Amino acid sequence: MEEIIIRYLEKPKLNDPVLIEGLPGVGNVGKLAAEHMIDHLRAVKFAEIYSSHFPPQVLVNDDGTIKLVNNELYYLKQEGSDDIVILAGDYQGLTPDGQYAISDFIIKIAKDLGVKRIFTLGGYGLGRMIEHPRVLGAATNAELVEEMKNVGVTFSSGEPGSGIVGASGLLLGLGMLEGMGCVCLMGETSGYFVDPKAAQAVLEVLATVLKVKIDFTELEDKAKQIDQLTSKLKESESFPEPKKEDLGYIG
């Protein structure tokens, strides 16, 4: 079997597309954000990526049919603005070299599609509950850092101290080697729960930059549900202690 297989459903012609990555990670912030964009902006799936670096697993849909775990690419055409490509999926690569292989593969596809700018989305795990999450940033050059500061992204010396691991980091690193301008947006999150609030914070920045309008009602509803859940957990005193290994700055 080949290490990575891509199956195209369609080969879209895109206008200077911007690539957005949102894969599972801390607080599932990136994944939530990317899936929210796909659903609410009605992005169109055009490719499926399968890999022996993903878990050997199929998911079972509610109707009993199955799906081999994968990553997927969606596109969104915008009039008067750059087109968008979104990378979403069930898993990141399981091993370090699997992570490199898949991110390198994505960068090559991005080049073919004419991508010159990448945004990777993730969570920044704090290990404590957070009311108003900031969005931290990292970028491949100083101009992008300034541009992001202007839309409210925080750049804080020494944060994240251990860098950015996983796809959100590698797409920046490997994209930079190809001369692409890349930004990682990290929503602050406790890291204990799936975090719709952090996802919304990240998407608000992205909506401004990409000039798209996003309805956040659904994310706000999810956030309220999580808030209720955590309140109950606190009352019942079964609130989990932070575990350090759960809180890496994984995108």
Quick check: 123 binds its own copies (CB under 8 A)? Answer: no
Quick check: 179 binds its own copies (CB under 8 A)? Answer: no
* Cα(145)–Cα(141) distance, integer angstroms: 7
Task: Say if residues 52 and 101 touch (Cβ distance below 8 Å).
Answer: no
Smallest gap from residue 91 Cβ to its own copies (A): 10
Quick check: 240 binds its own copies (CB under 8 A)? Answer: no
* Cα(75)–Cα(17) distance, integer angstroms: 9
Q: Which residues of 63-98 are buried (b: 16+ CB within 10 A; e: fewer)?
A: eeeeeeebbbbbbbebeeebbbbbbbbbbbbeeeeb
Q: Is 22 exposed, middle or buried (0-12, 13-18, 19+ CB in 10 A)?
A: buried
Smallest gap from residue 49 Cβ to its own copies (A): 12
Kindly tell me which residue out of 32, 34, 41, 184 binds its own copies, with binding defined by CB under 8 A: 184
Quick check: 166 binds its own copies (CB under 8 A)? Answer: yes
Choose between 56 and 80: whose C-beta lies nearer to its own copies: 56
* Cα(145)–Cα(132) distance, integer angstroms: 22
Smallest gap from residue 72 Cβ to its own copies (A): 14
Quick check: 97 binds its own copies (CB under 8 A)? Answer: yes
Q: Is 100 exposed, middle or buried (0-12, 13-18, 19+ CB in 10 A)?
A: middle
**Selected range binding its own copies among 17-25, 30-38, 64-72, 199-207, rule: CB under 8 A:** 64-72
Quick check: 68 binds its own copies (CB under 8 A)? Answer: yes
Taking the CA atoms of 12, 20, 118 and 142 in sequence, report the sign of the dihedral they define.
Answer: positive
Quick check: 104 binds its own copies (CB under 8 A)? Answer: yes
Choose between 69 and 212: whose C-beta lies nearer to its own copies: 69
Smallest gap from residue 136 Cβ to its own copies (A): 9
Using CB under 8 A, count the residues that bind its own copies: 60
Q: Which residues of the chain form contacts with its own copies (CB under 8 A)?
A: 1, 3, 5, 7, 50, 52-60, 62-69, 93-94, 96-101, 103-105, 137-142, 145, 148, 155, 157-160, 162-167, 169-170, 172-174, 176-177, 184
